[in-house]
Homo-oligomer: A and B are copies of this chain.
Amino acid sequence: MLNFTFFNPVKLLFGKGQIAQLAVEIPRTARVLMTYGGGSIKTNGVYDQVMAALSQHTVLEFGGIEPNPRLETLLKAVDLIRREKIDFLLAVGGGSVLDGTKFIAAAVPFEGDPWDILAKQSPISAALPLGTVLTLPATGSEMNSVSVVTKEATQEKLFFSHPLVFPRFSVLDPEATFSLPACQIGNGIVDAFTHTMEQYLTYPADAPLQDRLAESILLTLIEEGPKTLADPTDYAARANVMWCATLALNGLIGAGVPQDWATHMIGHELTALHELDHARTLAVVLPGVLAVQRGGKQAKLLQYAERVWGITSGTAEERMEQAITRTRQFFEAVGVPTRLSAYGVSSDTIPVVVERLVSRGMVALGENRDLGPEGVRQALALSL
């Protein structure tokens, strides 16, 4: 096992009716800015529940945070907050709203150009306190300190992470997600699955507990994912997918083990270039990365084949191939295509993605830092 530090102070309030807890979780004297996205919370009842819980609070609103939240939008919120002397942020939405709000929290007290927090990884020394109400199980943002933001002007999608932007609390009510369209649930399942794979499917590190915890999440997503798609109001299935998505990226399963993240780095470029949903880029990239990297990943790919997919016969090469195929089939089965062509993206994009990665120095990705430009090209070519 590798040395590690684990720290995650987020208070989770999980279950039916938990939105009402906002009344006590946010200080009564706070001036609250509620951030949200396209406005679906106003039709699905979440907005009304939040406002009812905060009826004794001073609440302003900032809507319109888009998927892959944009710097240009978020800076408008920063201006509003400085002007209105807001001192508590409540993000109500999915990963994009939460990520965007973390950036806002860090940007408000930041001196200088806030984009430097991501582009130059400039240190921050303060952030506004924030809480969240999660309406889309997927990214894990509700229980981590990571934020991914896109700069529209340059089509750059970058991230930062800092303990100061851990949410103080996150409310996870599965019922608040019942009205989501199936495509967003499918995306969430793929996102959580891939987060788990990025921390699990590397090389053995004498960490059998971490392996089993990761396999627990994968098996549960495989079992519960199709259930929640078939019946969106099946509370148990939705709750189980939601809990999987949170634990897939709260630091637990990655503690003490090597991590990959090449799929995410490549996927971010596809989103920046083609505005593909984050999860869809992962569904396209992961199978190819696993295939190209199967040398270094062989031991874990065989373990994954056996423990997650029950594949026990055939040569090592055949079992790895089957496991990758089953992964691709699972993504397709939850409604997420795994081929660039399904999204109208041609092979012309491959050299552009490679060039963009190279231009930012990302020439050696993966847990062994051995996935270079040629490997990225091959991985994408496998998913045309």
Contact = CB atoms under 8 A, between A and B. Distances in A.
A115 interface: no
B212 A216 contact: yes
B5 A8 contact: no
A7 B11 contact: yes
Given A220-B208, A220-B212, A240-B208, A15 B4 contact: yes
A220 B202 CA distance: 20
Nearest to A243: B209
A219 interface: yes
A207 interface: yes
Contact of A9 (B1, B2, B9, B17): B9
Interface in A213-271: 213, 215-217, 219-220, 223-224, 236, 239-240, 243-244, 247, 252, 255-256
Given A223-B208, A240-B207, A11 B1 contact: no
Contacts of A247: 209
A169 to B, nearest CB: 8
Nearest to A143: B6
B236 A256 contact: no
A247 to B, nearest CB: 7
A216 B206 contact: no
A256 B220 CA distance: 15
A6 B14 CA distance: 8
Nearest to A255: B14
A243 to B, nearest CB: 5
Nearest to A242: B1
Nearest to A173: B3
A18 interface: yes
Contact of A220 (B4, B11, B16, B209): B209
A86 interface: no
A124 interface: no
A325 B55 CA distance: 57
A10 B8 CA distance: 8
A2 B256 CA distance: 30
B219 A212 contact: yes
Contacts of A252: 252
B5 A11 contact: yes
Interface string A368-380: 0000000000000
A379 to B, nearest CB: 30
A252 B252 CA distance: 10
Given A3-B16, A208-B224, 6 more contacts: A1-B14, A1-B236, A4-B14, A5-B12, A5-B13, A208-B240
16 contacts: A1-B239, A3-B15, A3-B17, A5-B13, A6-B11, A7-B11, A8-B9, A9-B9, A207-B236, A207-B240, A208-B220, A209-B216, A209-B217, A212-B212, A212-B219, A215-B216
